[in-house]
Amino acid sequence: MFDTATSGGPVRTAVVGYGLAGSAFHAPLIAATDGLALTTVVTSNDERAAAARERYPDVTVVPTVDELLRRRDDIDLVVVASPNSSHVPIGLAALGAGLPVVIDKPVAATVAAASQLRAAAVKNNLLISVYHNRRWDGDARTLRALLAQGLLGTVHRFESRYERWRPQVDASRWREQPGSDVAGGLLYDLGSHLIDQALVLFGPVDSVYAEVGGVRAGAKVDDDVFLALTHANGVRSHLWASAVAADFGPRLRVLGSAGSYVKYGMDVQEDALRSGGTPRDPGWGVEPEAAWGQLGEPGSGRSIPTEAGAYQDFYREIRDALRNGAPPPVTIDEAIEVLAVIEAARRSADEGVTVRM
């Protein structure tokens, strides 16, 4: 069982960073999970500090990680939701202070850096997990159910897209900045989700081919990505991430020996979280019928209700891992496997080759 300072009361949780990731994708889910308590937010930004106090009146806001760790006895879990370049140093500091950690994806910029985190967690016998929340998208959950029921037969191709229309570069965003430790660009951002979903659904890959580039005027990082993964079981995954898609393709298109599953539209949870919603709201994660995917053969498809999205399940499983020694929802080894594919994709794009894993 993982070490934890809590045995009966809620897991006292600190969120490091209160930008979009901290304020929308972590804090609301933590606050909505029975057995977890959002007690501390780390931000040096006055506006974000005020926003955190307004939404969570009982939260303590501190300006630095050093100040957080000086309060180590008041914390049971650290969630790192700060820019990618800070994931490893903050994660190592928290683990070194005896605190389990959740780190937003990508966990690090390289396999080598992520391996440092794994070693520190093992040395200190502490939980480490990575927030690959898109496993709990409604469409991903629906597809897993269809595969488990064998309704597609033997799958030979999996197509998955996260496409946006953002033709102008916003140079103020750290994700638009170059640098080996920044881990900016879409390959690390949306690509991490796409790769993780493919690995969860169809297992390890034998080879990677990639096209990765910057299309927009003034782009300093990649904003248009295509990956072709060949899995060890023979399935081929074709993955797209783009900020310059003026017309969106299907979110999912899965082809099998017994038919296809085709799904358009994005999961509803992100917009709900950005608008201040939480999983305690009625109808959380439920998608309108008009957006349901189609299963079947040409001319004989039928609508398949999309399972409700469930980002909250990630933190429910974190709670259970800390309290009862249950497996973490995402392991550090799984996150490292995603990074290995990203590194192979980068090499493939740079050298114009297919990379064998």
| 28, amino acid identity | P
CATH superfamily of 11-131: NAD(P)-binding Rossmann-like Domain (3.40.50.720)
Q: Which two tokens stand for residue 50?
A: 């005020």
Q: What is the pLDDT of residues 254-271, one digit of tens each?
A: 999 999 999 999 999 999
Q: What is the pLDDT of residues 135-170, one digit of tens each?
A: 999 999 999 999 999 999 999 999 999 999 998 888
Find the angle CA(83)-CA(88)-CA(94) to the nearest 5 degrees: 105
| 180 confidence band (pLDDT: 50, 70, 90) | confident
What integer pLDDT is reported at residue 13 of this predicted model? 98
In this structure, the dihedral spanned by the alpha carbons of residues 16, 100, 102 and 178, taken in order and rounded to 10 degrees, is: 60
Query: What is the average per-residue pLDDT within 113-127?
Result: 98
What integer pLDDT is reported at residue 7 of this predicted model? 58
Q: Which two tokens stand for residue 275?
A: 């608008």
Greatest CA span in the chain, whole angstroms? 64
What integer pLDDT is reported at residue 2 of this predicted model? 37
Q: What is the pLDDT of residues 39-86, one digit of tens each?
A: 999 999 999 999 999 999 999 999 999 999 999 999 999 999 999 999
- The domain locations on the chain are 11-131, 137-310+341-356
| Average predicted confidence (pLDDT) for the chain | 95
| 326 confidence band (pLDDT: 50, 70, 90) | very high
Q: How many residues in total does the chain contain?
A: 357
What integer pLDDT is reported at residue 300 of this predicted model? 87
Sign of the torsion formed by the C-alpha atoms of 111, 227, 104 and 219: positive
CATH of domain 137-310+341-356: 3.30.360.10
Q: What is the pLDDT of residues 292-304, one digit of tens each?
A: 999 999 888 899 9
Q: How far apart are CA 103 and CA 110, in angstroms?
A: 14
Q: What is the pLDDT of residues 208-258, one digit of tens each?
A: 999 999 998 888 888 999 999 999 999 999 999 999 999 999 999 999 999
Q: Which two tokens stand for residue 104?
A: 């937003």
Domains 11-131 and 137-310+341-356 are alike in CATH topology: no
Spatial neighbors of 313 by CB under 8 A, at least 6 apart, are: 136, 329
Closest CA to 137 of 188, 200, 197: 197
What integer pLDDT is reported at residue 179 of this predicted model? 76
Assess whether pLDDT exceeds 90 at residue 176: no
